[in-house]
Structure 1
């Protein structure tokens, strides 16, 4: 794993001379970080948030509620805005405009922890199955909830999570299932423990960039229903999708309005549609109707991470049960003031305008810059796995999204970890090596030391190509003797 100083610009790898003499230090290259999966500072909607917070603080009918403890299920106006918005975006799939299906959360990560508290029992829930390569920072959340040593990697294929591999894993636990939850007998009737948890990112998965096909989504839901599994779908990139122009097409400029392509049905939509076909729900609030898939949404990628606000969409029974998690019952819904602020952005249409006129165009533009830089500098060394530009008129329009591109090393004798280490030592360049995205405790289940991930969302546009040039220089000169450095080291998590 690459090790990164907390402040590399002050103590970067080039700060020491080849002889290690600090009195003769050479100038430090500015740090370029193509690991960090954050929105660029220039993309944060500062002006819109100033307007929205001023609106909340000036509204005597809202300000007190927004600054007090919130109801367990969250700020009701935001629940209503989200229900209306999601029913419109996913109208093709009959998504109901129902606030009872929405629970406001403290973001996707915090919500995953709450789901594990309220819908698992370590004595009953067999495993947490993680689609691999995975978002690596999710693994400690599962471990903290009692599943250390019980995370299992499920590899991806061309359509997404490999359902055949997942079913083989489920069957391993069929011979002697426990009869009922042991430790968390307080869950019923408002909550329940699932036998299995499955974690996936169906759209623009981090890091692979893959989007799961509709047929695979249906297979996954049916499998979850068969084996009493809960699908936790991190749907954090669903609104950050764009059509990818042909390679020879010219993008007018990065300010061009970019509409959201027609989205695919989320796993929670597939679960609802199949359930309505096969098991009509007479009482939609029945505690027995928790469902087998939830949509874990977040405003971190589409507004700002610091707001720490998200939502879950699920059956009304699941959404209500989630609101009964102890931390929510004690403190009320998390992010009450942030929720009120985001509600203004949605109510006034500012969120949609920002996504259409700022965020999606910028990401589309940055994605293209990284692809072009790859083709110019890196294609002899790396194979792009997903998200390239169409090359001919006959090709169907493609859609891409998210923050990342995923590459496979072309040389069998290369190690992603070694490349990452050398890129930092020689070029003050931070990249994400494939082993970061292996499932903790089941690294052998799906290995990625021949892959790297590059992020196009964080760095300024000029630094994207410069970072690619630096990486290409490392790979081009790989077989030359490596110069010794006195590079300081710290955890790669500092630049997650």
Structure 2
């Protein structure tokens, strides 16, 4: 599990039988730490061999499961929830190769990819290149494509982020064999969705172009404006108090500079993943969230959140919520890093409420630093 992790992901995996089996993999400035992940996977493999365990499935089996993976890796590669980090292009390729090496399935939540705009408020959206390739897209092309008919990736998408929160319709994407097998599991064959009516509406939006228009003319402009208000408020009220933005390197820094070959841009990748970049790609922002580290003198993020709610009716998610449940080392790492952070969201509130919320956050933080809160 990527760490910090979406706080509702762990309960979902627990319900699927993974309780007591989850381990955190920290992020660095480029996203998921691939070296750490490699070491963890190798350590697990070595432990199995050391104890004389057999390399066979223990929890599932039988003719109903045509393919079972040895490991599962979960992350949000682009504008991650909660860290807002975007996995670099090199890391995406390394992750796919690692999954192939250890027979792992990479499960990605790709729900924010199209919600993007320039970090510069004066730059037009047209200056952006293509979104970062999803991990499932990398698996489809890297080093000749998937190692077998199943592949090592599955992408989760959701219309709840690009139509409306109440639109609980999504999709999963993998190889043809993977998708067919997924269609045969019990929950899918018995109905497949909480509502069959809403998907018919989504279908119409896809066919007639309404969805694209909704994203480009409503969502992106609204979220973009709220993002700038939030960033301006952070710089005005929180940075002077010692808060630090912690969202990693911009994805554009992971791209090679493109060169003109016969008048056209060359491939902007190491192994065939095409990027629509320029010689100086502009920095992008997007998604729903940003992540801030607390200044020295503020006791803890959880304590600050409690006091903010009690005194100022201000609510935000705090670092310890994003630990990987059941992993003691995840809690230890949280105490030294992301646990002293808070996640802020611009997707729901008006611009006025966002600025007021940051002003209240600054007030409770000043009080906490002075010991008055």
TM-score (norm 2): 0.83
Q: Residues 362 and 259 of structure 1: is their aligned pair in 2 closer, same or farther, counting only changes over 3 Å?
A: farther
Matched, 1:429 2:300: no
Distance 1:216 1:429 in 2: 36
| Secondary structure, aligned partner of 1:136 | coil
| Secondary structure, aligned partner of 2:201 | helix
Distance 2:172 2:347 in 1: 25
Does the 8 Å contact 1:153/1:443 carry over to 2?
Answer: no
Aligned match of 1:267: 135
Does the 8 Å contact 2:105/2:153 carry over to 1?
Answer: yes
Counterpart selection for 2:61 from 185, 195, 205: 185
Gaps of 5+ in 2: 251-279
Q: Residues 410 and 183 of structure 1: is their aligned pair in 2 closer, same or farther, counting only changes over 3 Å?
A: closer
Q: Residues 268 and 240 of structure 1: is their aligned pair in 2 closer, same or farther, counting only changes over 3 Å?
A: same
Shift of 1:244: 1.6
Matched, 1:165 2:165: no
Distance 1:278 1:343 in 2: 30
Q: Residues 454 and 258 of structure 1: is their aligned pair in 2 closer, same or farther, counting only changes over 3 Å?
A: farther
Shift of 1:454: 0.8
Aligned match of 2:219: 359
Shift of 1:331: 2.5
| Secondary structure, aligned partner of 1:478 | helix
My pick for the range that moved more, 412-421 or 322-331, is 412-421
Distance 2:110 2:221 in 1: 20
* Partner deviation per Cα, 1:366-399 (whole Å, 9 max, x = no partner): 110000001111102310113899xxxxx85211
Distance 1:385 1:332 in 2: 38
* Partner deviation per Cα, 1:230-275 (whole Å, 9 max, x = no partner): 00010000111112215xx4x8xxxx98787411211001111126
| Secondary structure, aligned partner of 1:165 | helix
Alignment of 1:305-324 (within 5 A): 305-324=165-184
| Secondary structure, aligned partner of 2:105 | strand
Alignment of 1:89-238 (within 5 A): 130-175=1-46, 176=48, 178-188=54-64, 191-238=66-113
Distance 2:45 2:329 in 1: 23
TM-score (norm 1): 0.63
Does the 8 Å contact 1:423/1:474 carry over to 2?
Answer: yes
Aligned match of 2:158: 298
Alignment of 1:243-282 (within 5 A): 243-245=118-120, 249=122, 261-274=129-142, 276=144
Does the 8 Å contact 1:259/1:356 carry over to 2?
Answer: no
Distance 1:459 1:410 in 2: 25
| Secondary structure, aligned partner of 1:429 | coil
Distance 1:200 1:278 in 2: 20
| Secondary structure, aligned partner of 1:380 | helix
Does the 8 Å contact 2:157/2:170 carry over to 1?
Answer: yes
Does the 8 Å contact 1:433/1:452 carry over to 2?
Answer: yes
Q: Residues 388 and 365 of structure 1: is their aligned pair in 2 closer, same or farther, counting only changes over 3 Å?
A: farther
Q: Residues 235 and 458 of structure 1: is their aligned pair in 2 closer, same or farther, counting only changes over 3 Å?
A: same
Gaps of 5+ in 1: 1-129, 280-287, 390-394, 484-496
My pick for the range that moved more, 201-210 or 174-183, is 174-183
The RMSD of aligned alpha carbons is 2.4
Aligned match of 1:402: 287
| Secondary structure, aligned partner of 2:23 | strand
Q: Residues 318 and 226 of structure 1: is their aligned pair in 2 closer, same or farther, counting only changes over 3 Å?
A: same
Give the number of the structure whose alpha-carbon radius of gyration is greater.
1
Aligned match of 2:300: 415
Distance 1:220 1:212 in 2: 10
Distance 1:170 1:411 in 2: 35
